[in-house]
Structure 1
Amino acid sequence: MAAGLVLGGSAVALGWPEGSGAGLTSSPEAGSSTSEGSTSGTAPGGTLPGGGGLGSGSGVPGGSTTLPGTGADSSTGTLDTTTATADQSAGVVLVSTVLGYQSAEAAGSGVVLTSDGIVLTNNHVVEGATEITVTTPSGESYTAEVVGTDASADVAVLQLQDASGLTTATLDDDGDPAVGDAVTAVGNAEGGGVLMAASGTVTALDESITTQAEGVSQGESLSGLIEVDADVVSGDSGGALLDDEGEVVGITTAASSGSADITGYAIPVGDALDVATQILSGQDSDSIVLGYPAFLGVQLATTPGRGAAGTTAGATVAGVVDGTPAAGAGLVAGDTITAVDGVAVADGDALSAALAEHDPGDEVTLTWTTTSGTTAQAAVTLVEGPAA
């Protein structure tokens, strides 16, 4: 397993302020902010727990241990890439996202499965997105909706709105590649808005890696991957790994960082399609989230709150997003949510799990202990959150 692995989506900061409480991962303690004011990973059930690393707001390009990047990093030297040809670009698209709760934007890639706009990409490319735009190589842009995601497999399926007649990717039909086979990774390298091609060879199969938590994406342990020596960089995530016949054999998902020699990793296309098929059939599971999750709008602290009698059991609020159900209910940083619909929640994970059982539009009753030690209760209607 290569050290210093990073997920391949790129991200550009738009100035999410530190301490705003709009993050999407666990913050180190109540009321604290993540480094560079960025966040990692969307928790289920519409909580906004705050992360480590430089993430989506940092603007640190590839070659480090971060997701973001809009230019080549000096540690990787000159990238061995060329502008993708028309044949290489066929069925590959540019994915741009707005992360509204972090005032950030991100970029990645996708593979077109159907002419009416079903697109396969990585979960981390769209994770935390409040708006998604997909652009074809010919320059046509479409608004995309999330059909479903599976963070554990790093797979997401999108539906382009009002799309028809799209060029689809040619998927491999003769089995996985072999070590030594020539391959080409095609994607939105470094979020540049132009499809680039990086040639290389397959160096290993059935590889397992653990990615670092970066941007709005939590680290994941992935297995069964194709390892390549192509110059895969930020923004290539969700793009196509082509064999020498121009068929898609994998979906690019991660790359090593911190050295001049880049090692890329791709999900075998058959594995990605198995997940996509489950999503498109409407089969949710412990790992698959269909559509958009219900959203409360709180950032959770990893350090429990402390009331007059000491530590208070429950989910401690590190911050509240303006305009969300949590804000409307009067929750503030330092409060501790202790129950949902009368059922006690012991911590942030329990709160996330309770809210994950609900859909946008559902009404739930929250009970919490305020910073002054009093008990409060309110009914809130959960709204549609960012992509999970």
Structure 2
Amino acid sequence: MPEPHFAYGVAVAPGSAPVTAVPATAIPATAVPAGDGADWYGPERWGGWEGPVPPPRPPHWHRPPEWDEPPARPARRLLRWIIGIAAITGLALLVAAAGLAAIVGSRNPAPRASATAQANAAAPVPPGGILGESAEASTEASPTPTRALSTQEIVATVNKSVVNITSTLGLRNTRVAGTGVVVGNGGLVITNNHVIAGATAISGVAVANGRTFQASVVGYDRSHDIALIQLAGASNLPRLGVADSSQVKAGDPIVAVGNAGGQGGTPEAVTGSVTALNRSINAQDPDGGGSRRLDGLIEVAADIKAGDSGGPLVDRAGRLIGINTAASIDPRDQSPAGQGFAVPSNTALGIAGRIQSGKASSTIHIGPTALLGVAASDAGGRTQGAEVTGVVSGSPADRAGLENGDVLRSVDGQEIASAADLTSAIDLHHPGDEVRIAWVDRSGRTRSATVRLATGPAG
């Protein structure tokens, strides 16, 4: 039976056969130093590796409004008055001409737009839709096709806005490949959080020009599996047009594009249709970590593959309606099983817009990731909390005296009932923050310490 997976994990969709998340494709990383086998993330500086992922650029400032311009000089007022009179006279003549044209038009009505042209009308861009360096860019509408586009035309257009992403997971001695979509000026790219989670370095190849760029994480939202990254030094990359995903309905034809198999080069595309809306799945990390629920997804019938994670799901006009996040995988041979899931474009770009604006929340993290320096699993038996299963040597946790088998109970007064709670609590902080942690050691004694959080891998 097909098994649904979350894009870089394992997911189960209620009421269907198990589905396997679309894993970001693993790539051998011979240049990455081997770790000690512990299944946790840690800062890449420890162990003599390269420095941390560079911090993101601050949000762009809008251009000043027109009324901030200096007033006109008095010497020009007479000239402007004369021009104004001429403009009014011209406007009157134009209105008269328009009236005459309306009369003629009423006698010879123009033919109505075709059903195809009406269906391809550009939908309103959602709040935070297309990200740009000015207020004008954030409300830019997608081009309106005058006819139905072929799959080849859609793919040729969409590919120009695709980025093939490679994340180096330093402590895991591997790399993973996924996909991103250019959505803003200056190389802003949206992708899945799981594509960059645990990365100690990120690079992206813009399909539009074949150039490779180093990338930094602007921010992410684990709960919706969305991340916004910045390609350093990128400019003039084509942005993908956006549709209003609230108008998507079952039966709509779609095209999914991505870095299938992590092979790089020209992205691959598959066609299909929307089969359901507002779907929920429980996604589990591929390394056996905790699961995470994703809600409100678009379900499609399409052979989305490993490596497509973070890629664009588009309508038949080539406009973005979702970010590919999960797909069904046949457990017998790990081949695509014809079922996929995508985060709707309204949701994904709304989150990206808040990230770019620097608006952190209980789920949205802005900037570099803070690190305590432990691996943890849900505690069982004697006490509730996050049980330590690994400690990074020299990390804040190590200096505080945490050891394997200890159970973390609170961070800055926030109760920790699970490993996921610990992740969420640390996500509210940034490198350099001081936090008070409390735990129960292996002997059953309650202990506490104040630690200064370090800089850890992304996402």
TM-score with structure 1 length normalisation? Answer: 0.72
Residue 55 of structure 1 corresponds to none
How much does 1:298 deviate? 0.7
Give distance in 2, aligned partners of 1:88 and 1:238.
14
- 1:28-43 to structure 2, matched below 5 A, reads none
CA contact (8 A) 1:157 1:276 kept: yes
How much does 1:356 deviate? 4.1
Is 212-221 or 326-335 further displaced after alignment? Answer: 212-221
Q: Given the alignment, which residue of 320, 345, 357 partners 1:281?
A: 357
Post-superposition CA distance 1:133-172 (Å, at most 9, x none) = 1111132111211112122222111112222122222223
The change in CA–CA distance for 1:166 and 1:313 in structure 2 (over 3 A counts) is closer
How much does 1:320 deviate? 0.6
How much does 1:361 deviate? 0.5
The change in CA–CA distance for 1:127 and 1:339 in structure 2 (over 3 A counts) is closer
Residue 247 of structure 1 corresponds to 319
Residue 119 of structure 1 corresponds to 189
Whether 2:285 is the aligned partner of 1:214: answer yes
Give distance in 2, aligned partners of 1:261 and 1:22.
30
Q: Which stretches in structure 2 are left out of the alignment for 5+ residues?
A: 1-12, 42-150
Residue 88 of structure 1 corresponds to 158
Residue 378 of structure 2 corresponds to 302
Q: Look up the equivalent residue of 1:293 and give its one-letter code.
A: T
- Structure with greater helix percent: 2
TM-score with structure 2 length normalisation? Answer: 0.62
Whether 2:311 is the aligned partner of 1:224: answer no
CA contact (8 A) 2:19 2:328 kept: yes
Q: Which stretches in structure 1 are left out of the alignment for 5+ residues?
A: 25-80, 306-310
Give distance in 2, aligned partners of 1:171 and 1:358.
33
Give distance in 2, aligned partners of 1:377 and 1:156.
33
How much does 1:279 deviate? 1.7
How much does 1:193 deviate? 1.2
Give distance in 2, aligned partners of 1:344 and 1:268.
32
Is 330-339 or 290-299 further displaced after alignment? Answer: 330-339
Q: How many residues align?
A: 325
Whether 2:271 is the aligned partner of 1:271: answer no
Whether 2:238 is the aligned partner of 1:238: answer no
The change in CA–CA distance for 1:174 and 1:7 in structure 2 (over 3 A counts) is closer
How much does 1:302 deviate? 2.5
CA contact (8 A) 1:120 1:155 kept: yes
Whether 2:396 is the aligned partner of 1:325: answer yes
Identity rate, percent: 38
Q: Look up the equivalent residue of 1:21 and give its one-letter code.
A: A
SS of 2:349's equivalent?
helix
- 1:1-388 to structure 2, matched below 5 A, reads 1=13, 2-12=16-26, 20-23=37-40, 86-137=156-207, 138-172=209-243, 176-215=247-286, 219-258=291-330, 261-303=337-379, 311=382, 315-337=386-408, 343=413, 347-348=417-418, 351-352=422-423, 354-366=425-437, 368=439, 370-371=441-442, 379-388=450-459
Post-superposition CA distance 1:84-141 (Å, at most 9, x none) = 9543311011111112232232111010012301111112222222221111113211
Give distance in 2, aligned partners of 1:344 and 1:221.
22
Measured on the aligned residues, the alpha-carbon RMSD in Å equals 3.4
Q: Look up the equivalent residue of 1:149 and give its one-letter code.
A: Y
SS of 1:113's equivalent?
strand
Q: Look up the equivalent residue of 1:191 and give its one-letter code.
A: G
Give distance in 2, aligned partners of 1:359 and 1:174.
33
Residue 70 of structure 1 corresponds to none
How much does 1:186 deviate? 0.9
Is 357-366 or 163-172 further displaced after alignment? Answer: 357-366
Post-superposition CA distance 1:2-41 (Å, at most 9, x none) = 42223324242669989843326xxxxxxxxxxxxxxxxx
SS of 1:152's equivalent?
helix
Q: Look up the equivalent residue of 1:225 and give its one-letter code.
A: L
Give distance in 2, aligned partners of 1:224 and 1:315.
29
Post-superposition CA distance 1:26-73 (Å, at most 9, x none) = xxxxxxxxxxxxxxxxxxxxxxxxxxxxxxxxxxxxxxxxxxxxxxxx
Give distance in 2, aligned partners of 1:314 and 1:201.
44
Q: Look up the equivalent residue of 2:373 and give its one-letter code.
A: G
Post-superposition CA distance 1:291-337 (Å, at most 9, x none) = 233211111242358xxxxx467643211123422233443213344
